[in-house]
Structure 1
Amino acid sequence: MPQSANDTSGILGLDVHTLKDLEIFESETGDASLFDFCNFTRTRGGAAALRRRMERPWSNAGRIRATQASIRFIDAQPELFTAVPSAYVSGGAEAYTQEILPALDHRSWLDFAFGAFQMWFNHDSHYFSIVRGVQATCRLVQALRAFVAQNLASSAGELVPLLQQIRALLSRPKLAEVPDYDVGAWGTWRMLRLDQVLRIHEKETITRLLGLLYKLDALTSMADATREYGFIMPLVEEGALRVRAKGLVHPYLAKPVANPVELNQESRVLFLTGPNMAGKTTYLRALATALYLAQLGMGVPARSFCFVPVERLFSSISLTDDLRRGVSYFRAEALRVKAVASAVAEGRRVVALMDEPFKGTNVKDAFDASLAILERFSGRENCLLIFSSHQIELNDHLDIAGGQIDCRYFEAVESSDRLHFDYLLRSGISEQRLGMRVLREEGIFELLDGSPGGHSAGSPTDESRLSAHSS
């Protein structure tokens, strides 16, 4: 049964903030969005169909598997899908069905002949637009006939009903009047008779065929993206909520470092620590992006990926205050946590990613709030949480908060030179405190200690330091 536009059953819940955090449709830096990254469509209508899919990923295991089966079939036989009608053909047919042109709907052959002569004689621009539209629509019908005539018997998943609908529409008696050759040499009478069929009797049929073509184009694009980037197809599981991955990376990175993910009912919360720039935020985005792609039914950037589908995906990475609404930064953080808590309270299956929350308040409140959130989320069966923080002092209290908290960290590799990072996930809590070192490496204290045009009193110059060292 086709799904209505307002039906949200089986659809992954994504709010505006999560779409923004994951750069699904736009990037704040002006780089390509995830939609651009996955868009291999050949038609404008196909791109619109792909966007609709990416706005409403599945949360139902059966629907995800159906999309996966379609993508696997397309990926295994890509040559079959080169026969799908091109943007030129579909664009011409779509313009023809939407353009306002005079139409002849006369039943009597004499009335029709008179109307055809009048149109040809008095409205030549309209007539030639009709001719171009008829030719384009005939090419569309012919191309779809050729496509479904191929060996598609082993097609699977969403492709099965999609192909059935295309064949049923093409078999309508009126469409039998469309020949399997170019109609460019047809005279006025026959051309306008065919226009009558296509634009009056079977206009809805042509519109539906275009819609099915665009869905097919979107599915093909998802298969092309999965193949182009070397993504693997995830394993969709049943039962208690969990996500497990090996070799997970973010798809945007040219030379990514792969890491594992393990979230389940024994480890519902991942408490993530480490210095800035070590990889915490990228890790959060990599997991959220992979889970999003998996619930689209696409492949993901990992060596292996297994998951039980979730109903709500939340990220809290790039929060800001809202001056117009009078919402402070901490209020924005609290509202974000409330949105997650509301979904959990409703009994939804939730994955949430919080990147250094409670920065908008004092250290004591931030500590207490973090501990309270970790304690409560670790006890909720329907929720998996990654919580990154610089509050390493929480380590002494995590056993009290609950046994379902797994501690992992990233670290900087320290040496006599500048800091560098290996971006590898480790077990435990980071003890690194690098803020002062980063400030020194950037020369900030030297800038502030110096006087304009010279050096501050009592502060040794570079020359005096070298002299003292040499002596």
Structure 2
Amino acid sequence: MFRKLPAYVVQNVEIYQREVLLGATKKNPIEYFLQATNVYFNHDRHYRGIVRGVQYTCSVIRGLCEFMAQEELEAAKGEIVPLLAELQELLSFAWVDEIPQQQVAGSSPRKIFRLDQVFRQQAKGVILRVLQLVYEFDALVSLADATLEHGFAIPEVLDGDIRIEAEGLVHPYLIDAVPNAVRLDQQERVLFLTGPNMAGKTTYLRAVAIALYLAHLGIGVPAKRFGFVPLQRLYSSISLNDDIHAGISYFRAEALRIRVIAESISQGHSVAAVMDEPFKGTNVKDAFDASLAVLERFATKEDCLFLFSSHLIELDDQLEETKQISRSHFIAEVDGGRLKFDYQLRPGVSDQRLGVRVLEEEGVFDLLDGTKEKNPSQSKATKINSNKKGSE
């Protein structure tokens, strides 16, 4: 269908429907004739627009009729079936039989004006709905092509308690990404994620959020397998900003985001929330206390799932008795004096602290101490980051 109906053809039909063009609109034969004569002889631009629009519309209708005549469509399944049924009904109107099988550019003005009257008056609503269906088919075909091309998995809707089960999950924007698993259920509804900078925490959280969102749309997910019980709300707190005009600091923005999540939970919605190092906009003591208070409360919320990354590994000591919290981490290794990352998710809590080491690798302290000249060449960490398969 899309070879016969390139995008510009369908777009021009919509332009034709929306454009203000003079035409023959009267029902009285004499008035109709006078209108048509006036447009034909005195308004050449309008007439050429009508001819072009009629020709494109006829091409679309002919192409759709050929498409619907394919025997393969009888075996169609899923979301496309009701769309096909509606399209078949729309193409069953009597005026469709008036569509010529050849190009209309050389047809008589009488025929052109007659078709224009049908397309822009009598069947205008039908034509616009047909275009909407074509757009829906286009979107579904594009999604199917992307799913096949990238090897995405069709998500499986599960029964029972709210949960997510995924294997081979990756971020769709990364080439040769390292796959990981995710499992959250009502026994362990909170994931406490730790690890050093650049080890992959943020990318993992984004991958989970993207997959969950795509799964709720019913389209392919970048994973080998993805099963889930549908939720009512999906929230993220990853890339927040302050707002100087509204007088909202970064920490206030974090607090407001948590409030939105809390309000949704209090309203009885099933919620999935993905939070990347929340409360980093305040001092360590307040960040620790706030994180602990929020995590303890998240752990009690049934029919909800939470992913919570943090550098505050001391939180684990306070959450040791909280059974609804699972712990996973990423690591960094030192090879030849350089940091290396494998981006593999591991159980437990990381105790690695590499912030100072990264500054040392970048030569920050040497530059400040005056023991190293500024080097315009690429730093070690930058070289490593440019080749890695995941990032934070």
TM-score (norm 2): 0.91
Q: Of the candidates 75, 98, 119, which is equivalent to residue 154 of structure 1?
A: 75
Q: Relative to structure 1, is the Cα distance of residues 367 and 181 closer, same or farther in structure 2, using a 3 angstrom cutoff?
A: same
Q: Could you give the per-residue CA deviations for residues 387-411 of structure 1, whole angstroms, max 9, x where no partner exists?
A: 11111111211123x2111111101
Give the residue type in structure 2 aligned to 1:426: R
2:341 corresponds to 1:421: yes
Residue of structure 2 in register with 1:61 after alignment: none
Residue of structure 1 in register with 2:327 after alignment: 407
2:23 corresponds to 1:103: yes
Q: How does 1:270-419 map to 2 (within 5 A)?
A: 270-400=191-321, 402-419=322-339
Give the residue type in structure 2 aligned to 1:217: D
Conserved in 1, the CA contact under 8 Å of 2:366 and 2:372?
no
Q: Could you give the per-residue CA deviations for residues 339-379 of structure 1, whole angstroms, max 9, x where no partner exists?
A: 11111111111111111111122222211111111111011
2-structure distance, mates of 1:318, 1:416 = 34
Q: Relative to structure 1, is the Cα distance of residues 108 and 330 closer, same or farther in structure 2, using a 3 angstrom cutoff?
A: closer
Q: How does 1:29-68 map to 2 (within 5 A)?
A: none
Q: Relative to structure 1, is the Cα distance of residues 246 and 99 closer, same or farther in structure 2, using a 3 angstrom cutoff?
A: same
2:189 corresponds to 1:254: no
Gaps of 5+ in 1: 1-80, 454-471
2:239 corresponds to 1:239: no
Gaps of 5+ in 2: 374-392
2-structure distance, mates of 1:183, 1:112 = 20
Q: Relative to structure 1, is the Cα distance of residues 186 and 155 closer, same or farther in structure 2, using a 3 angstrom cutoff?
A: same
1-structure distance, mates of 2:50, 2:336 = 76
2-structure distance, mates of 1:447, 1:106 = 83
CA-CA distance at 1:94 after TM superposition? 1.3
Q: Relative to structure 1, is the Cα distance of residues 277 and 139 closer, same or farther in structure 2, using a 3 angstrom cutoff?
A: same
Residue of structure 2 in register with 1:163 after alignment: 84
CA-CA distance at 1:153 after TM superposition? 1.3
Conserved in 2, the CA contact under 8 Å of 1:273 and 1:388?
yes
Give the residue type in structure 2 aligned to 1:128: R
Conserved in 2, the CA contact under 8 Å of 1:247 and 1:260?
yes
For the residue of structure 2 that corresponds to 1:403, the secondary structure is coil
* Aligned-pair Cα RMSD in Å: 1.9
For the residue of structure 1 that corresponds to 2:115, the secondary structure is helix
Q: Relative to structure 1, is the Cα distance of residues 181 and 269 closer, same or farther in structure 2, using a 3 angstrom cutoff?
A: same
Give the residue type in structure 1 aligned to 2:267: E
Q: Relative to structure 1, is the Cα distance of residues 105 and 276 closer, same or farther in structure 2, using a 3 angstrom cutoff?
A: same
For the residue of structure 2 that corresponds to 1:153, the secondary structure is helix
Q: Relative to structure 1, is the Cα distance of residues 203 and 235 closer, same or farther in structure 2, using a 3 angstrom cutoff?
A: same
Conserved in 2, the CA contact under 8 Å of 1:271 and 1:408?
yes
CA-CA distance at 1:84 after TM superposition? 6.0
Q: Of the candidates 191, 205, 219, which is equivalent to residue 140 of structure 2?
A: 219
Conserved in 1, the CA contact under 8 Å of 2:330 and 2:343?
yes
Conserved in 1, the CA contact under 8 Å of 2:232 and 2:269?
yes
1-structure distance, mates of 2:35, 2:2 = 41
Q: Relative to structure 1, is the Cα distance of residues 123 and 443 closer, same or farther in structure 2, using a 3 angstrom cutoff?
A: closer
Q: Of the candidates 132, 145, 149, which is equivalent to residue 65 of structure 2?
A: 145
2-structure distance, mates of 1:124, 1:392 = 76
Conserved in 2, the CA contact under 8 Å of 1:356 and 1:388?
yes
2-structure distance, mates of 1:258, 1:135 = 51
2-structure distance, mates of 1:447, 1:128 = 71
2-structure distance, mates of 1:332, 1:117 = 65
CA-CA distance at 1:336 after TM superposition? 1.0
Give the residue type in structure 2 aligned to 1:341: A
Q: Relative to structure 1, is the Cα distance of residues 175 and 443 closer, same or farther in structure 2, using a 3 angstrom cutoff?
A: same
Q: Could you give the per-residue CA deviations for residues 163-192 of structure 1, whole angstroms, max 9, x where no partner exists?
A: 111111111122321123322331111221
2:189 corresponds to 1:268: yes
CA-CA distance at 1:435 after TM superposition? 2.1
Q: Could you give the per-residue CA deviations for residues 204-224 of structure 1, whole angstroms, max 9, x where no partner exists?
A: 111111111111111111112
Give the residue type in structure 2 aligned to 1:385: F
Q: How many percent of aligned residue pairs carry the same amino acid?
A: 54
Q: Relative to structure 1, is the Cα distance of residues 107 and 444 closer, same or farther in structure 2, using a 3 angstrom cutoff?
A: closer
Residue of structure 2 in register with 1:85 after alignment: 5
CA-CA distance at 1:448 after TM superposition? 1.8
Q: Relative to structure 1, is the Cα distance of residues 204 and 432 closer, same or farther in structure 2, using a 3 angstrom cutoff?
A: same
Q: Could you give the per-residue CA deviations for residues 235-273 of structure 1, whole angstroms, max 9, x where no partner exists?
A: 111221100111111011112111110100111011011
Residue of structure 1 in register with 2:356 after alignment: 436
Q: Relative to structure 1, is the Cα distance of residues 427 and 189 closer, same or farther in structure 2, using a 3 angstrom cutoff?
A: same
Q: Could you give the per-residue CA deviations for residues 34-75 of structure 1, whole angstroms, max 9, x where no partner exists?
A: xxxxxxxxxxxxxxxxxxxxxxxxxxxxxxxxxxxxxxxxxx
For the residue of structure 2 that corresponds to 1:419, the secondary structure is strand
